[in-house]
Structure 1
Amino acid sequence: MAKKDKAKTSKHIKCEIRYDSNPLAVYRPGDTVNGNVELTLGKNKKFRGVCLRINGFASTYWDAKVKNGSTNNKKRKTSFKGREDYFNTISYLVGSDVGNPLEVVAGSYSYPFSCVIPTNAPASMEGKCGHIRYLVQLTLERPWKHDIVYLAPFTVRGESDLNLLSGTLSLPSKAEIVTSFYFGLSDPLVVTATTPRSGYAPGEAIELVIHVNNQSSVDVKTIMIKLQRVVTFVSQVPWTEHFVENTVLEERNTGKIGRRHNARFEENILIGGGVPTNDSLCRIIFTKYEIEIVVHPVRSRKRPTIRLPIVLGTVGLASSNVYPDLVIQKQREAFAEYAPSAPPATTSDQMENSPPAYYELQQNVAGTSQVYSISSNMTLDEAAEDESEKGSEPYTPRDY
């Protein structure tokens, strides 16, 4: 059913936008969107035109304070915007955009519509400073008064086969950082993080191993591990600017590592459904994933950080099905307590074999972290961490 704008509706008009054989309105690139607009008028109405628009687009927007010229330090508020269209079909069911008003008699009217989604269309997504949306919009145009608008969004599910890049995504990933304290006078703290590969699909687990060689005289309170989505929004006006939004999908904390101690931590982080990695289909919104590892030493402002890039696809690597017995057991433990709810009834095959939403997995999966060779149990001061989660946008594409 169409989503109505309360400020632009009429009690004498009823409009429903239905998708044929696809009540969930979830499509893939290359699919054809078919449906009907059911318009009912309770009495005769005048319109210049009845316009049906089907479009897909990306939009970015945010406000920021920038310097007002180079001669002073004053700042002014500036709005940054960007837009990219993927397809836009417009047809007038009644009248036109320049004609005289026409009177449409009371009654019920049905208008079929059809549109092909481009094969290179990016996946639907919503962010703090932008979105990628696909809409069917019916507008009852009245130049002497505000238009009446009805919207029915549909979701485009991205397709990404990791096997097309298996040569790089199947290789092990490694990052290391070496830190010293007291102006370089202490022995080093060396932290190394590895994963067996960098490409993953929903339902798989990231096997992260962290080695800590703390030869310094400073204790490490904890190491914070985050799986996060990193979305970069790009503006086009008034000039090119970037805004980066980080969303933490999963967070873990290790135990303490004392001075002159070594430790080994193993974390199995389950991957849920989400927007696939997109760094080429859209020119103003880029979606990437990474594992961020932040070391928190005691009584030091230093925060050594490691980042391991992760590529999220919809079709996993063929080689990822070959696991040692230990890894298979970890996967079984991760899914042991997960019991997905039954999906809504549908006659469409668009949602077959769709992975569960990320939040469902994380709420139902048992903890999968393991720690080896933990350092001495020393009493350390706990530092408070303040992490705030921003609210979501009113319209969110369906999880898949």
Structure 2
Amino acid sequence: MCSLKRRDGEIFITPVNEKGNSMNIKLSVSQSLEESSLDMISSEQSSAEVNIQLDKLPHEYYLPGQQIKCKIMLKVVSTIKIQSISIQYKGRGKSFWTEQNPETLEIREFSGHEQYFSSYQYVFGVQNGREQLIKPGYYVFDSLYRLPSLLPSTITNVFGRIIYSVSVQIQSSSHDIQNKEISRDFKVFSQLDLNDYPDLRFKVENLTSNVYGCQCCCLICCKSRVIDMVTVIPCGAYIPDENIPIFIEIDNRSRLNIETVICEFYELLTFTAMTPSLDSRRETRLLWEHKFNGVSSKENRFFQTILHLDPNYKFNILNGSGIVDGKYFLKTTAIIPSHKPQTSEIEIMIGTKAFNDMENIFPKKTKNGVKSPLNRMIPGSFLIAEPENLKKMTEKDPLLPKNRHQLSLNSMTIIYQGLGKTSWTGNSTTVGDEELHECCGSVEQYFSESFICFQSFNQKTFYADKYEYNTEFKLPNVLPTSFCGKNGQVIYKIRMVITSHLVNTILKEDEEEFFVKSVTPIVKCKSKKIGILWFKSEYITLTTSISKKGFAIGEIIPLLIHVTNQSSVDIIFIEINLMEQIISKEKRRAIKKIEENIIWKKCIGGVLKCQNRLYDVRIPVDQDLMILLLDGADIITAKYSVVVKAVTKQLQTCIQTKIDLIFGTVSIQ
């Protein structure tokens, strides 16, 4: 039920629902409102025109979680009856393409659908309510809607699209506007915070090795040589307008010449259809390319370049979509005449918010020192120290005294150290009138590496100025976490020692401690000998590792897969399964029933013979997986594990690893 009141050029509509609650809606009447060129319900005989206006222009984007302000402008030409005016906000994705069978010429249509949100609002009247008389004039209805916090970006492609729209429907008995609906699309640009993926902040390295020799079946009758190609980038995730330093090293130990080396950055879009069967289509787009000179036989060469991520390019961030996936890859290709090119690929994540503390890992060179201290390092990462930027090197304590214009120095050394110490007082004994205490404890050293910035056996004079010396040290992969306790401590520090040439003594010694947080990965490794025993049989080694064993629902499981194929058999694909095992028990007879389900599955590329490959796979632990948390139940339990299978081609055999997982609701702090 709805009542209308008109006062001072404005109409107040008070709809009353079944419970008796009322809501005032203000409609402004303005005879000077200009007609818009947007979609309208209008014709020569139409008694009303409808216009939709949003608070953003058509080329502007909304962000997930933002509020949409919508105005519905209704122009009534002649008196009409309107039952209700409703507005719907919706976001949906669709994939579609056709495929023709070359033999039967039958055309199959593939499609996939998903909906991200759908919300209705009635701005006038109620559904199936009583019709109201609306007099001629202009009426404005305001509507607000807040978008969900997780949405994929708008995309349009020949294989599918993700679109967002707002539509208005008018229910009326008037024939010219009866059940009419107009809609207007708007764009959404998804956000991705790189801090949600802390494992991507460290160096990414990809090594490929190819063996080149004679093409006989055993590869024994003549010598074969190897070409190693290593591609390195400082971290695995960036945001637009950042620079990506790329380092490539090629060790050509073969008798072949590499003609050229090509470095490419490309976008890969994958569209998935579920009807009538599971199928997918891929589209690649080259975004950047750089070519280097070749590498001669028996030569080792090092290349480097910088890739700038264009801030004007719309990178597709498609989190939250199950039918459209967007990824970005850095591909390095070595072109070898008359041979298959040797390639190396690194997946790069593109986000919208950069890492908060990247300067802790790669300190920036600044005039006043490092912006934040060197701390919270992880074993296996790089430490870069700049001697003049150490914390204790302040303007009050400069390297060069103000009252001298020059200084003769012998050497400057940077020392990286990791030490563990224990110390406590043991039992006491009395000898005569004295009480002696037993001192207990020991010292161990985890690493100690020295770098000589300069060393002069003759006189080396430094004039009053600032000098920079850069050193780099990679922490060992296995280190204990820093701590300081009552009876022991584990400390990591950087020391700088400067000796004077004139007095041959230590002129200055500074040190700064940094914090190391140990991350103990869970690693499973399996090896299997595959091949024909009369010719060549070598091992295939499959190694899988994850950063921890326990994950909370909503987290991402980072899975690293390293395959070493030394056999003469190709691995056609690698299958990753997230397995669920439900165990039902009967206590009386001590029997049990086991049910196994695959709740997540993905297949990735294979590995050719005599090659190594490293894959980085991310398994989302979202609500759709329906993880069972059955703590406290004795007769029924649920176990989860990640099973990785490497399937070979000729022998149809496989090698697999299994890592058990524990799921919860609160992540590990």
1:289–1:310 CA contact under 8 A, matched in 2: yes
More strand by share: 2
CA distance in 1, matches of 2:303, 2:365: 16
Give the 3 Å change call, closer, same or farther, for CA 79–141 of structure 1 in structure 2: farther
Residue among 231, 242, 250 paired with 2:280: 242
- Post-superposition offset of 1:124: 2.5
CA distance in 2, matches of 1:294, 1:268: 17
2:160–2:271 CA contact under 8 A, matched in 1: yes
Give the 3 Å change call, closer, same or farther, for CA 310–48 of structure 1 in structure 2: same
Structure whose alpha-carbon radius of gyration is higher: 2
Aligned to 1:174: 205
Aligned to 1:36: 71
Give the 3 Å change call, closer, same or farther, for CA 56–18 of structure 1 in structure 2: same
Superposed counterparts of 1:360-375, under 5 Å: none
Aligned to 2:245: 207
Superposed counterparts of 1:286-301, under 5 Å: 286-300=325-339
Give the 3 Å change call, closer, same or farther, for CA 259–49 of structure 1 in structure 2: farther
CA distance in 2, matches of 1:141, 1:14: 14
CA distance in 1, matches of 2:364, 2:55: 46
Which SS does the other structure have where 1:169 is aligned? Answer: helix
- Post-superposition offset of 1:57: 1.4
Give the 3 Å change call, closer, same or farther, for CA 26–240 of structure 1 in structure 2: same
Superposed counterparts of 1:325-364, under 5 Å: none
Aligned to 1:195: 233
- Matched residue type, 1:76: E
- Matched residue type, 2:240: P
- Post-superposition offset of 1:154: 2.1
1:54-109 deviation line (CA, Å, top 9, x unaligned): 11111111222358xxxxx4352211111111111234667899899999765433
Q: How many residues align?
A: 318
- Post-superposition offset of 1:217: 2.9
Aligned to 2:435: none
Aligned to 2:145: 115
The alignment-based identity, stated in percent, is: 19
1:287-321 deviation line (CA, Å, top 9, x unaligned): 22111222222233x12221101111111112334
- Matched residue type, 2:259: K
1:90 is the counterpart of 2:111: no
CA distance in 2, matches of 1:236, 1:192: 39
1:2–1:15 CA contact under 8 A, matched in 2: no
Give the 3 Å change call, closer, same or farther, for CA 126–21 of structure 1 in structure 2: closer
More helix by share: 1
Give the 3 Å change call, closer, same or farther, for CA 199–152 of structure 1 in structure 2: same
1:82–1:234 CA contact under 8 A, matched in 2: yes
1:200–1:311 CA contact under 8 A, matched in 2: yes
Give the 3 Å change call, closer, same or farther, for CA 135–174 of structure 1 in structure 2: same
- Post-superposition offset of 1:189: 2.1
CA distance in 2, matches of 1:182, 1:46: 87
Which SS does the other structure have where 1:154 is aligned? Answer: strand
Superposed counterparts of 1:205-354, under 5 Å: 205-273=243-311, 274-275=314-315, 277-278=317-318, 281-300=320-339, 302-321=340-359, 323=362
1:76 is the counterpart of 2:106: yes
Give the 3 Å change call, closer, same or farther, for CA 22–3 of structure 1 in structure 2: closer
Give the 3 Å change call, closer, same or farther, for CA 141–224 of structure 1 in structure 2: farther
- Matched residue type, 2:143: F
Residue among 100, 107, 126 paired with 1:65: 100
2:152–2:317 CA contact under 8 A, matched in 1: no
Q: Which runs of 5+ in 2 are unaligned?
A: 1-35, 368-669
Report which structure shows greater RCO (CA 8 Å, sep ≥6): 1
2:95–2:113 CA contact under 8 A, matched in 1: yes
- Matched residue type, 1:213: D
1:277–1:311 CA contact under 8 A, matched in 2: no
1:123–1:275 CA contact under 8 A, matched in 2: no
Aligned to 2:189: 157
Give the 3 Å change call, closer, same or farther, for CA 292–121 of structure 1 in structure 2: same
- Matched residue type, 1:294: T
- Post-superposition offset of 1:327: 12
- Post-superposition offset of 1:157: 2.6
- Matched residue type, 2:239: A
1:3–1:151 CA contact under 8 A, matched in 2: no
- Post-superposition offset of 1:277: 4.5
